[in-house]
Amino acid sequence: MDPKNAIGQKIRALREAKGYSQTRLGKLAFGYKDGEENSAQIKITRIETGKKKVYAEELINLSSALQVSIMDIVTDRFSAVDVPARLPSPIPVILWNEVEMFAEKENLLLPFTSRSTERVHSMRRVGPNAFALRVEDDRMAPRFLPGDVMIVDPAIPCQDGDPCVALLNGQTVFQTFKETKDAIILEPANRKYPEVVIKKDSQVDFRLIGNVVDLIANL
């Protein structure tokens, strides 16, 4: 098989496993804006059908948008449809106001039970305390859109630049985590929302809960 066709088929399988349309993947990977949907779809179509060579920088952008490694795209080591084999245990989708209780569940006298019964699977290997949240607003658009389900893994430390879930004065927040010498910054992807600056010497009640490690697009 032509290498371009093989890579294109793998990208298509990964895209469909994530629930992304061609337009959405084009926007995430290559920065197409609103009004450029046709161009975004055409580019992904040409890649998936092997009509366009995928260059190294484009592979980096695609792997980031699909939340996989470049090796997952260019080798056969990963099957995009083999989700149950990679993660047999379902992940609970909890409510936003339940995050603090879920994080403290090991210290509770009674077992924590979410009011939500929804469960999802992730293509990523996650820790036993991983949970999911359904995105409610567009502050982290275009990667995270309302209705999407994000997988949060408390076992993965939040590094500078990671999308993370945290508790701020008892309220669950989801933004990009950044850290300076004197402050922690919670930065939205959508600039219509303000960033939150937390001075390290302040008395603000702040706690990181987990790293957002996967995304299941709302179909």
Beta bridge partners of 139: none
Does the pLDDT at position 139 exceed 70?
A: yes
Q: What pLDDT was estimated at residue 102?
A: 86
pLDDT value, residue 55: 87
- pLDDT at residue 3 tops 80: no
SS3 of 167-190: EECCEEEEEEEEECCCEEEEECCC
Instruction: Tell me where in the chain the CATH 2.10.109.10 domain(s) lie.
Output: 89-216
Query: What's the CATH code, domain 89-216?
Result: 2.10.109.10
- pLDDT, averaged across the chain: 86
More confident residue, 81 or 52: 52
pLDDT at 84 over 90: no
Q: Cβ(165)–Cβ(209) under 8 Å?
A: yes
Of 13, 23, 83, which Cα lies nearest the Cα of 48?
Answer: 13
Residues pairing with 210 in the sheet:
165
Q: Does the reported pTM lie above 0.85?
A: no
Q: Where in the chain is the domain with CATH 1.10.260.40?
A: 3-81
Does the pLDDT at position 189 exceed 70? Answer: yes
**What confidence tens digit (pLDDT) does each residue in 158-176 have?**
999 999 999 999 999 999 9
Give the DSSP per-residue string, 42-81. Answer: HHHHHHHTTSSPPPHHHHHHHHHHHTS-HHHHHSSS--TT
CA distances from 218 to 16, 20, 105, 110, 195 (A): 12, 8, 28, 33, 26
CATH class name, domain 3-81: mainly alpha
**Using 50, 70 and 90 to split pLDDT, how confident is the model at 86?**
very low
